[in-house]
Amino acid sequence: MKKNKKLTKTKRGVLSQKKLSKLCLDVFKLYPLKPLNYKQLSKILKLKGKGDKLILINVLAELERIGLLTEISRGSYKICSVSKTIITKVKKNNKGGIVIEINKEELFINKEFCCFALEGDTVEVMFFPKSKKKIHAEIINVIKRKKTSFSGTIDNTSNNFFLVPDDKKIYFDLFLPPKIVSKDFLDKKILVNVSSWDKKNKNPVAGKIKMIGEKNDHDSEISSIIYDYGFSDTFSKECLRSLKDVSSTISSNEIKKRFDVRNVTTFTIDPEEAKDFDDALSIKKLSSKTWEVGVHIADVSHFVKDESAVDKEALHRGTSVYLVDRVVPMLPEILSNDLCSLKPNVDRLTFSVFFEINENSKIINYKIGKSIIHSDYRFTYEKAEEILTKRSGIFYKELKLLNDFAKRLRKKREDDGSISFESKEVKFLLDDKNNPIDVFFKKPLSTHKLIEEFMLLANKTVGKHISLLKKPFVYRIHDVPDKESINSLNILIKKFGYKLDKKNLSKSINNLLNEIKGKSEQTLIETLAIRSMAKAQYSTNNIGHYGLSFNYYSHFTSPIRRYPDLMAHRLLSNYILKEKVIDKDSLELNCKHCSDMEIAATKAERESIKYMQVKFLKQNIGGVYTGIISGVKDWGLYVELIENSCEGLVKVSSIKDDHYYYDEKSFSLIGYKTKKSFQLGQKVKIKIKNADLEKKQIDFILV
């Protein structure tokens, strides 16, 4: 068929062929299963002119010719959907729209076809042919929204009010009905809840507004981060009301049900600023060559009953959030910092794993059960380290013995293939107004490793113990690395003279990490090795923990700050007492939710660090620093400063000596003419050009 010449809008009001094609497809997408002819379409589109109707007949024929419509019967058409709809989750969003993942392939959907869907939303997607080779996808329904409240500021430059979200990756503003907007909200940081997501509207519609505070105020900015990631810095009235009658008294009947280890040497080791002490260690000599080491964990399940108001709120949060200047707790402070916290010199209820251990750190036997302890001392990591270094002080013998056990346990774990990535923890020194006056790295201590080894041992033992019972449980799982990522890593490290043994990959990665220490390629290889790893998550389906080289692993040791640990305690108690049958499906749903909230908490923590880094560097505009290229994209280089770990962007447009392109294989920006390259892990000198607090963005230029 000969193509008709596309018409433009005329004085008679005839629609262009392009415009009419789009309108037709929109109607067919609304009725994907219904055949329509030109008369029905004319009625729906309210076409009255003869010119429009004639063009419509040609448009239908053309859409059928290019494969977008199918002629069901003479003159009656239906849209060609590529397949049935699928249900999936939105992987991420940006200013242009959203990204979903289909069969491990990312597919971008333009914002006009997204139904206001955002990262984490569960959506129904329908596919349509765009041409014979390309497929077009649209969100036809948002089944479950992860985010329904947004922080930001009001734009009142037009006749209407709109919330401009703080999160610059959100591709829409929110309409604020005039009746809910007061003058007090203007030029302030606010939080709004959405009342309508109707896709017929140009914007989601807000229903409620809450004042957060002044714009560019420290507390307002941190509160915005908390709200943006789905957390709250307050607990519901119902939750707090339910705790009024909680008693701190421990009855004699309760003590009789438990292992009583109040007369055994017991202490906690925690960060200096910690208030929620959820783990303690005890040690008792059994014979000349054996000891009993107790790992005691706060018995939160004694105070937080399943399906109670506190429990529901704890599940919703999933985790505590550790921001730069504050903690957003999973549990109200009366529990987290008082009744459940293993404070010194008071009796506390615990869930314990007792290990019979010999002088070579071999576990001879273990037992698990509820207990009551009386902590003798509260160590900070630094205080315990000082005693070990000086070889004298309170409980030195016990600390040394535990430290020696931990060292041998760690060596065995690493010999078995447990991968040891060393992470740097950035800390800020704040003044009385929460302004950062210094940034430093938290020094890793042997006492950190001491506690880590015994927590890992307890978590592994609990996981294995339940797996032998073949009952539903909450496991902390970590899948094998992505093969493509490992292949890419192998290709790159060969340039430096290294090679991975794929048959014994975990040990080979450990050997590689040891070999590169102190060398110029260390940052590059460590970064790529970490990126090749899968993300750990919670699941009832145990596949083991690859990174730790454990066949069985759970999270049991932090129920004050992690909901999966609280679930593990309840399940363990249930199986010991042989109580109710557990529904594995509902348990799996809770696991997925907790994995999602863990990711949200990590992002919130990083966002608060980013905000403080921008605040810190804003005082040093024009300053020159040495940094390491921590990321390479086609739009520029991310550089992490060696001195303080602050990260900023060198835009590719600011590098004037050549035109640079991104080479994916070498993780580099390469100049077309000069062939000069900037590679991940490379040292560069930069100058701070700009620090934007609102965008939480630092701009560098190369010097």
Closest by CA to 481, choosing from 553, 552, 417, is 417
**Cα 158 to chain centroid, rounded:** 36
How many residues appear in the chain? 703
Q: Which two tokens stand for residue 417?
A: 């293939």
Residue 7 has pLDDT above 50, yes or no: no
User: In this predicted structure, what is the pLDDT of residue 667?
Assistant: 87
Residue 34 has pLDDT above 60, yes or no: yes
H/E run at residue 617: helix 584-617
Query: Is-contact 355 293, C-beta < 8 A?
Result: yes
Q: What is the mean pLDDT of the chain?
A: 90
User: In this predicted structure, what is the pLDDT of residue 20?
Assistant: 85
User: In this predicted structure, what is the pLDDT of residue 82?
Assistant: 57
User: What average pLDDT does the segment 564-576 reach?
Assistant: 95
User: Which has more pLDDT, 443 or 637?
Assistant: 637
Quote the CA–CA distance of 466 and 574 in Å, as a whole number.
Answer: 11
Query: Is-contact 30 22, C-beta < 8 A?
Result: no
User: What average pLDDT does the segment 513-520 reach?
Assistant: 86
Quote the CA–CA distance of 119 and 134 in Å, as a whole number.
Answer: 24
H/E run at residue 538: strand 537-539
User: In this predicted structure, what is the pLDDT of residue 434?
Assistant: 86
Quote the CA–CA distance of 497 and 399 in Å, as a whole number.
Answer: 42
Query: Is-contact 625 641, C-beta < 8 A?
Result: yes
Share of the chain above pLDDT 90, in %: 67
Share of the chain above pLDDT 70, in %: 96
Task: Using the structure block, give the residue that is written with the tokens 């600023």.
Answer: 273
For residue 564, the tally of other CB atoms under 10 A from its CB is 27
282 contacts: CB under 8 Å, gap ≥ 6? 261, 264, 265, 266, 267, 292, 293, 294, 296, 373
The tens digit of pLDDT for each residue in 423-449 reads: 778 889 988 888 898 888 888 899 999
User: What average pLDDT does the segment 455-481 reach?
Assistant: 95
Closest by CA to 324, choosing from 400, 253, 273, 378, is 273
The tens digit of pLDDT for each residue in 246-304 reads: 888 999 999 999 999 999 999 999 999 899 999 999 999 999 999 999 999 999 999 99
**HSE of 551 in the Cβ direction (CA atoms, 13 Å)?**
6
Query: Is-contact 368 465, C-beta < 8 A?
Result: yes
Q: Sign of the C-alpha dihedral, residues 204, 207, 212, 215?
A: positive
Query: Is-contact 293 282, C-beta < 8 A?
Result: yes
The tens digit of pLDDT for each residue in 302-340 reads: 999 999 999 999 999 999 999 999 999 999 999 999 999
Domains by residue range for the chain, with CATH: 17-79 (1.10.10.10), 86-144 (2.40.50.140), 149-215 (2.40.50.700), 241-477+541-604 (no CATH), 483-533 (no CATH), 621-702 (2.40.50.140)
Position 105 confidence tier, pLDDT thresholds 50, 70, 90: confident
User: In this predicted structure, what is the pLDDT of residue 21?
Assistant: 85
Q: Which two tokens stand for residue 86?
A: 């699928």
User: In this predicted structure, what is the pLDDT of residue 5?
Assistant: 36
User: In this predicted structure, what is the pLDDT of residue 9?
Assistant: 41
Quote the CA–CA distance of 175 and 190 in Å, as a whole number.
Answer: 14
**Residue 632, beta-bridge partner list:** 637
User: Which has more pLDDT, 197 or 681?
Assistant: 197
User: What stretches of 286-346 adopt beta strand conformation (E)?
Assistant: 290-298, 321-322, 327-328
Position 131 confidence tier, pLDDT thresholds 50, 70, 90: low
User: In this predicted structure, what is the pLDDT of residue 570?
Assistant: 96
User: Which has more pLDDT, 13 or 645?
Assistant: 645
User: In this predicted structure, what is the pLDDT of residue 291?
Assistant: 98
**Cα 1 to chain centroid, rounded:** 54
Quote the CA–CA distance of 453 and 234 in Å, as a whole number.
Answer: 34
**Residue 440, beta-bridge partner list:** 427
Q: What's the maximum distance between 2 C-alpha atoms anywhere in the chain? A: 104
Residue 12 has pLDDT above 60, yes or no: no
Task: Using the structure block, give the residue that is written with the tokens 């504050």.
Answer: 326
Residue 693 has pLDDT above 90, yes or no: no
Query: Is-contact 79 24, C-beta < 8 A?
Result: no
The tens digit of pLDDT for each residue in 138-165 reads: 898 999 999 999 999 999 888 899 999 9
**Residue 363, beta-bridge partner list:** 357
Quick one: angle between helices 218-228 and 584-617, nearest 10?
Answer: 150
Residue 200 has pLDDT above 90, yes or no: no
